Amino acid sequence: MRIVVLTGAGISAESGLATFRDPGGLWQRHRPQDLATPEAFARDPDLVLGWYDARRAQLADVAPNAAHHALARLDAAWPHDFLLVTQNVDDLHARAGARRMVQMHGALKQARCEGCGAVHEWAGPMPRATPCPACGAARLRPNIVWFGEMPMHMRRIEAALEAADVFVAIGTSGTVYPAAGFVEALRPGARSLELNLEPSAVAHRFSETRQGPATTLVPALVEELLRG
Ligand code: APR
């Protein structure tokens, strides 16, 4: 049985990271067009770099929660195809030990050179005009997918979705494509579950929805799957 799991900001909420669209969320306090678009970066690179520096620094103060650990357990124990697709740019899935995982919106702790394309692990601040460690050009940016840019790893994700027998969406509002459309890419007969505090915008597309916090629902689902 082949499994694909999609996660959104809701899986990291109980670790203390703000989501985007919940009350008090990041997009309740900032405008995406001011911080998460190529135009914003061109217009005010210091503002954009400073915002990502702050979000990157916050990762030191949070830890994976029971939901991240449960998915890492499933990844390690599942003897068939498994892919964890996260929209999150935090490092909590990786720190929980996820292996078969792709970050389709990039990662806070990576920098990408717009000159040579090299991607570098990046833990600290990224001031403007930081030279690329590979080519020396002062053209580093956060390796984050901004609005209007192509998500990453889409060919691998699409192949996994077409083959999936079970698709689980966890903690995502179902408002941003292409991730919100993944449930519609499944073959007929595949089982789809949505785990969320409340029904997402695409809840009606799922064969089953469960309401509750990820730290309760995800470990329970993983035990069900591993028990067979
Ligand atoms: N347990 C489960 N679900 C939760 C929890 C929780 N403890 N807390 C919040 N949620 C759910 C909310 O109900 C909501 O459906 O998580 C979802 C968060 O939705 P968003 O804030 O829209 O986050 P996400 O769906 O990941 O956003 C998608 O939008 O801005 C872009 O690139 C950004 O990757 C992000 C994308």
Q: Ligand 1 pocket test: which of 51, 196, 218, 221 has the largest number of ligand atoms within 8 Å of its C-beta?
A: 196
Helix, strand, or coil (residue 168): strand
Q: Is 22 in the pocket of ligand 1 (CB under 6 A)?
A: yes
Domain ranges within the chain, ordered by starting residue: 1-16+63-105+151-228, 18-61+106-144
Confidence at 227, pLDDT banded by 50, 70, 90: very high
Q: How far apart are CA 146 and CA 136, in angstroms?
A: 24
* Nearest in space to 13 (alpha carbons), one of 206, 222, 208, 196: 196
Q: Is 20 in the pocket of ligand 1 (CB under 6 A)?
A: yes
Task: Indicate the pTM of the whole model.
Answer: 0.98
105 is catalytic: yes
Among the four given CATH numbers 3.40.50.2300, 3.30.1600.10, 3.40.50.720, 3.40.50.620, the one describing domain 18-61+106-144: 3.30.1600.10
pLDDT in tens, 20-67: 999 999 999 999 999 999 999 999 999 999 999 999 999 999 999 999
Q: How far apart are CA 33 and CA 8, in angstroms?
A: 20
109 alpha carbon – ligand 1 mean position (Å): 20
Q: Are 203 and 196 in contact (CB under 8 A)?
A: yes
* CATH architecture label of 1-16+63-105+151-228: 3-Layer(aba) Sandwich (3.40)
Q: Which atom of ligand 1 is nearest to the CA of 214?
A: 1
pLDDT in tens, 139-166: 999 999 999 999 999 999 999 999 999 9
